[in-house]
């Protein structure tokens, strides 16, 4: 097996591991968001300003999570392109 193929398999494995871990984390966070939304619905004592802070915080968290995933995907793509164009000595 040539070196290029070995590196491709390593990168594919790492990307798959990251994607699976990220998906699990994303689902866990979505479940937490559902719990917070349930709390907000039932917490009549919480002022509207407090609700807005919490929902803004959740929105910012989702946005940052999406940006992080996009950045990691972009960098995996760059690494894959690098190894596709690289020349290895046999």
Tens place of pLDDT per residue across the chain (90 aa): 688 888 889 999 999 999 999 999 999 999 999 999 999 999 889 999 999 999 999 999 999 999 999 999 999 999 999 888 877 665
Query: What pLDDT does 32 receive?
Result: 95
Domain that holds residue 82: 46-90
Please check whether residue 22 is in contact with residue 69, taking contact to mean a CB–CB distance below 8 angstroms: yes
User: What gap in Å lies between CA 44 and CA 7, rounded to an integer?
Assistant: 56
Tell me if 62 is assigned to some domain. yes
Domain count, the chain: 1
Tell me if 51 is assigned to some domain. yes
Tell me if 26 is assigned to some domain. no
Query: What pLDDT does 88 receive?
Result: 65
Query: What pLDDT does 1 receive?
Result: 65
What angle (nearest 5°) sits at the alpha carbon of residue 48, between those of residues 45 and 50? Answer: 80
pTM greater than the 0.95 cutoff: no
Tell me if 71 is assigned to some domain. yes
Tell me if 73 is assigned to some domain. yes
């Amino acid at each position: 097996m040539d070196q290029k193929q070995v590196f491709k398999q390593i990168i594919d494995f790492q990307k798959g591991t990251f994607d699976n871990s990220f998906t699990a984390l994303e689902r866990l966070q979505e479940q937490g968001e559902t719990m917070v939304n349930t709390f907000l619905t039932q917490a009549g004592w919480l002022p509207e300003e407090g609700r807005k802070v919490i929902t803004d915080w959740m929105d910012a968290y989702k946005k940052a999570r999406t940006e992080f995933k996009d950045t990691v995907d972009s960098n995996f793509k760059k690494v894959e392109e690098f190894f596709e164009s690289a020349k290895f000595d046999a």
